[in-house]
Amino acid sequence: MKILQKGVLERAKRASLVSQEKLQVHDGLTRDRIQLLDLWIRPALSGRGRKVSGTLVAHVNGFQYTVSKSEKVDIMFGNIKHAFFQPAERDMITLLHFHLYNEIMVGKKKTRDVQFYIEVMDAVDSIGLKRRSVWDPDEIEEEQRERARRREINRQFEPFVRRVDSIWTKPRFNQHALQFETPLQKLGFNGVHGRTTCFIAPSPSCLVQLIDAPFLVTSLREVDIVCLERVALGQKSFDMVFVFHDYTRDVVRIEVIPMTDLDKIKDWLNDCSLKYYESKLNLNWRKVLKTMMNDQESETNDRWEFLNPDASDSGSESSETEDDQYEPSDLETGSESNDEGSDDESVVISGDDDGGLDEDDGGESWDEMERKAKDADAEMGSESDSEDERQRRREKAKAKSRHPSGAPQKRQRLN
């Protein structure tokens, strides 16, 4: 029963595959073939108790990997989205990796990433090595053998890569724009993608991790924005999220990146012309993308501005700057001058009609108020006057207040 169920599942997987063109086999001599020997494949072909190496041959319109007459894997040039050649530098394997447009069957597994590789040193040998001393003769000899094997394996791959690149430059394959890319190890960084920490490095058009499964191949031309999360003082690591132009796709998240790599990653993003934002928290990207899909009216350039922590501050600063630099137009200047003129006019009119203090209304005239002010000044005197002088001025002021008209009235009465 289980065997029957497996057969049904395998047929269902194959039925969902996109049909590929037929491989055109190269008819030339064996010595003229573009091929690599003794390669292993990932994902591994099932049904074997141990790994068995095979041969990768470049034919007219695709590759064919052969283990035996019955076990073959065909990869068509037209189905290759990205091709990578990674020599053994940091790691113990040299590999060719193909990221495909459409999935193919490798054994009984359906996959979009196919890799062919050679191990520089067997896992058993690498585990059995014990670092004893830098000056130990056996240790030095083993390191020399390791470096020599790396160079030898890399030299085997390099002619194959060059000859395949020359095929891809032919007019027949120009539309595919294929070329082997090599990840830039100097720009790489450590991060968690999948289950474990791994070394991730950019290539000219992608960000890749090709050593540990699951593999990471992120095409930069499909990325809309990048969000750097958990970027705050006191944090030792941060996360990086890639959001694609197609909002129906899940984001790609790389976690626990050392904070020491932040500036290097920002420089790389700027060099790639990728717009990035910083966030102190992790966002719920499923809800964010759902909101973006529903909000089709917002402009593409401004729809991500809510991720900018300085957006509100910059808005207030710009408003303040506008107020500082505000200059009234001619029309506004004219209206202000008219208003000022009307204010002056109203002052004059109100002084004549309602605002004046006329004697008929029982108020004091301007002359009387001015005289009283002078009398008050005379009464107070200066600070240098003596107390007797001040007293005489007070009495004189009281006498004048009793006879406001003064001495002329007395002379009139005497006459």
Q: Which two tokens stand for residue 149?
A: 């094997």
Strand, coil or helix: 56: strand
1-181: CATH topology = PH-domain like (2.30.29)
User: Quick check: 276 and 228 in contact, CB under 8 A?
Assistant: yes
CA distances from 216 to 113, 182, 226, 338, 394 (A): 9, 14, 16, 72, 104
- The radius of gyration of the chain from alpha carbons, rounded to an integer in Å, stands at 45
Residue-level pLDDT at 231: 95
User: Quick check: 226 and 241 in contact, CB under 8 A?
Assistant: yes
For the entire predicted model, the pTM comes to 0.70
Residue-level pLDDT at 85: 98
Are domains 1-181 and 183-334 of this chain identical in fold? yes
Residue-level pLDDT at 22: 94
Q: Residue 207's beta-bridge partner residues?
A: 202, 218
Shortest CA distance to 63 belongs to which of 28, 115, 12, 6? 115
Residue-level pLDDT at 45: 86
Burial (0-12, 13-18, 19+ Cβ within 10 Å), 215: buried
Beginning with the edge strand found earlier in the chain, give each strand of the sheet holding 180-181 in spatial order: 72-76, 62-66, 54-58, 34-42, 109-119, 93-106, 80-86, 180-181
Query: Is residue 43 reached through a cis peptide bond, with omega within 30 degrees of 0 on the bond before it?
Result: yes
What does pLDDT average to in each consecutive run of 10 residues of the chain (415 residues)?
Answer: 64 77 84 90 76 92 92 96 94 95 92 94 48 68 86 93 96 93 96 93 97 95 96 95 96 97 97 95 94 73 76 45 43 44 44 46 65 68 60 68 51 43
Residue type, 310: D
Residue-level pLDDT at 259: 97
Distance CA 101, CA 178 (A): 13
Please state the domain extents for the chain: 1-181, 183-334, 370-405
CATH for 183-334?
A: 2.30.29.30
Query: What backbone torsions phi and psi does residue 15 show, to the nearest 5 degrees?
Result: -70, -30
Long-range CB contacts for residues 185-189, cutoff 8 Å, separation at least 24: 185/89, 185/90, 187/264, 187/268, 188/90, 189/257, 189/258, 189/261, 189/264, 189/265
Residue-level pLDDT at 380: 61
- Token look-up 């501005």 returns 305
Residue type, 256: V
Rounded (10°) CA dihedral 51, 53, 58, 62: -20
